[in-house]
Amino acid sequence: MAACLLTGEGHDMQDHPQITAFREAARILAADRYWHHGSTGEQVEVLRALRDVLTEVCFQLDAHRVLPRAVLQICQDLAAPGIRDVPAPPSAGFVLVSYLDARIEQLIADSNDSGNTGAEGSRGY
């Protein structure tokens, strides 16, 4: 069994609410990994829910400097002008959530008779 990480105050970090939540979410998602989304509407709803989770995961990735800044900069530099030109340092959240948002917009546009949601996608689909 792995040794428990202790804070300076002697609390078992294995019981921290965020650690518990990430583990529980991973377990639940893995149990139904191959669920088939029956419609575009379901896929949009799944991606919207994923956006909430991805935002929190990306916050942790950025806070713990998991992705090298150079990698994030390359991703931002290769992105569409809407992402490239943002006057902010590159981050996992900005890059990944922007692409997720673009996919959601694309699905909505594809299912819309006019083919346009009124929003400009960040990847230029």
Task: Quick: pLDDT tens for 85-119.
Answer: 888 888 998 889 988 999 999 999 998 865 555 55
Give me the pLDDT at residue 109, please. 95
- Res 4 pLDDT > 60: no
> How many CB atoms are located within 10 Å of the residue 36 CB?
6
Query: pLDDT grade, residue 44 (50/70/90)?
Result: very high
Task: Provide the sign of the torsion angle of the four alpha carbons 104, 46, 50, 70, taken in this order.
Answer: negative
Give me the pLDDT at residue 6, please. 45
- What pTM value is reported for the model? 0.72
